[in-house]
Structure 1
Amino acid sequence: MALTPNLRGSLYMAIGMASFTFNDATVKLVGGHMNMGQVMLVRGLMATTLILLLAWHQGMLIPLRHALHRMTILRVVGEVVGTVSFLIALVHVPLALTSAILQALPLAVTLGAAMFLGEPVGWRRWIAIAIGFCGVLIIVRPGYEGVSHYVLLIVVTVIFAAMRDLATRKVPKTIPVLMISALTSVGVSLAGIGLIIPLGGWTPMTLTHTGLLFFASCCVIVAYHFIILAMREGEISFVAPFRYTSLVWAILLGFLFFGDLPDLPMIIGALIVIGSGLYTLYRERVVGRIVPVATIAAASSSPDGV
């Protein structure tokens, strides 16, 4: 029996978010053996090569001078800073906790769109945003003795990832998506070069670690591919909520590979954030707000260097 477009779209979204989470888990695993500057460089070079090959195959390579629009540069800055903060924190913060905080990204994008792009947001969505960020505070628990400052780096990640997504809305449509991804991946690789020495220097790489980073690079490419398919296949309002399946994968992989289990405040805070995000999506559908496909695809992921 053939699946409906919405069901296919939701399946593609779930696959995409699973791929992102497998990438995060793999990077966290490798990060225990080498510093994140080295991880950013090696994975970035691999991802850049894959993206350029794909862009060349699809005829999406354009002259660099045409791609370096100010919004493209702003997007790269947001992605690079978000990736640096995310990867440095990822080694020290449980996978499920990072995923729970990142679920606030759609709320941060909605807030930023209202503040900086002048997009209308009704009082119901303002309340949902406020409640969602209260959920983040429950997860982070500022002032609690057991809270690491690395957790706050994930909050920084949300801020710069939101900046990335807002900039993406203003990138000219004449610039191909894969070209933007290639520029971003190069930016992350260069940031990795600058961080290798401050974070402890170069560590000799084993074949296993190299293979794991190549697997992580492939996961990122697969994730973006399936998210784009999801947005093209089904209705945005039906498909977008399946981005939250990443939290399920994060809890599962965090337990299997690192022995981490979420505590009660994290679960409560995550449910509040997810509920607020779902309500915001519902209100956007009610008011008939049109969101570009590329924006939804970008807003569905944490910074990953592409």
Structure 2
Amino acid sequence: MMSDNTRGALLMMASMAAFTLNDTLMKALAGEVPLFQLLVLRGVVTTLFTGALAWRMGALHWRVRRGDAVLIALRMLAEIGAAYFFLTALFNMPIANVTAILQSLPLIVTLAAALLFSEPLGWRRITAILVGLVGVMLIVRPGAEGFSIYSLYALIAVAFVTLRDLVTRRLSAAVPSMLVTFSTALAVTAFFSVGSIGTEWVALDTRAALLTLGASAMVICGYMFSVLVMRVGEISFVAPFRYTGLIWALVLGWFVFGEWPRPLTLIGAAIVVSSGIFMLYREGQLARARAREKKRTA
């Protein structure tokens, strides 16, 4: 029988594959369909699905505390910013480069949580974060020939996703996850619907329509798998499998777009991934130590 850890690892890899396939399908429409139109069309499908699922789970209620309501609103704004800056970078950069920059997210979130919420952070994890940031700089290479403003867009997207994740941490346990997911999807769709008023929409041919539907399906699958993965297996074992998204990005970037990162970019990506895996391993060690200590004192 399959163990919980194996099931969790497979779900994590499936989640990363779905999100990367969504990115690939969206990038395939770059220059063909306006960004805001794509976000609205994908958002409508995602909102309808998450809304139906939230309703079925009994999560569609607005009985939340004022503090949680403020956090949900802030999370909506963070998701809007992340969607715009990430997809703009994705449309103008190799998919593997953007994905590699996004792999720094666990490092940035851990550092931000330590600075803002005074969460404990030892010297080993601080070192891993600093080394990982060096890897990010190798990918972005500010000041180097070929440096693009869209590399900064990718970094801004990381900042918005960091804000989103930090806000999510502060939500009380009484707030249903599906309510947060649905409200965020609805807000993103509404925002880009208003923003697209000044954009000339284009008629979708069969290919564009199928790619848009495919991207919507992949986003939904990614969300569902990412929720399921938190319910099985040990986090310290499952979490490192999130980096398989970079492998998908390398393969799909080469196969679909004929893109292959420069050696320095690959070195930077390897540093970021190695730092992230070490930090997750260290967090697992500390969690087990705390559990043993709690057991002894119980």
Q: Normalized against structure 1, the TM-score is what? A: 0.90
Unaligned runs of 5+ in 2: 290-298
Q: Is the 8 A contact 2:92 2:150 kept in 1?
A: yes
- Map of 1:43 onto structure 2: 42
Q: Is the 8 A contact 1:39 1:192 kept in 2?
A: no
C-alpha distance in structure 2 between counterparts of 1:228 and 1:192, whole Å = 25
Q: Is the 8 A contact 1:81 1:157 kept in 2?
A: yes
C-alpha distance in structure 1 between counterparts of 2:251 and 2:63, whole Å = 42
- Map of 2:230 onto structure 1: 231
Q: Does 1:286 align with 2:293?
A: no
Q: Is the 8 A contact 2:61 2:179 kept in 1?
A: yes
Larger CA deviation: 136-145 vs 278-287: 278-287
Q: Is the 8 A contact 1:12 1:229 kept in 2?
A: yes
Cα distance, 1:211 vs. partner?
2.5
- Map of 2:295 onto structure 1: none
In structure 2, what residue type is equivalent to 1:240?
A
C-alpha distance in structure 1 between counterparts of 2:251 and 2:74, whole Å = 34
Higher helix share: 2
- Map of 2:294 onto structure 1: none
Question: Which structure has the bigger radius of gyration?
Answer: 2
- Map of 2:152 onto structure 1: 152
- Map of 2:59 onto structure 1: 60
- Map of 1:178 onto structure 2: 178
Q: Is the 8 A contact 2:64 2:175 kept in 1?
A: no
Cα distance, 1:282 vs. partner?
1.3
- Map of 1:140 onto structure 2: 140
Residues 94-142 of structure 1 deviation map (CA, whole Å, 9 limit, x = unaligned): 1101110000000010011001111010111111111100100000000
C-alpha distance in structure 2 between counterparts of 1:59 and 1:240, whole Å = 29
Cα distance, 1:65 vs. partner?
6.5
Unaligned runs of 5+ in 1: 291-306
- Map of 2:261 onto structure 1: 262
Residues 190-243 of structure 1 deviation map (CA, whole Å, 9 limit, x = unaligned): 232244356x52122223322322221121111122222222111000000000
- Map of 2:240 onto structure 1: 241
C-alpha distance in structure 2 between counterparts of 1:86 and 1:138, whole Å = 19
In structure 1, what residue type is equivalent to 2:58?
G
SS at match of 1:132: helix
C-alpha distance in structure 2 between counterparts of 1:64 and 1:150, whole Å = 40
Over 3 Å off, 4+ runs: 64-68
State, as a whole percentage, how many aligned pairs show the same letter. Answer: 41
C-alpha distance in structure 2 between counterparts of 1:5 and 1:186, whole Å = 33
SS at match of 1:232: coil
C-alpha distance in structure 2 between counterparts of 1:109 and 1:117, whole Å = 11
C-alpha distance in structure 2 between counterparts of 1:120 and 1:63, whole Å = 34
Alignment of 1:36-115 (within 5 A): 36-63=35-62, 69-115=69-115
Q: When the two structures are aligned, how many residues end up with a matched partner?
A: 288
- Map of 1:30 onto structure 2: 29
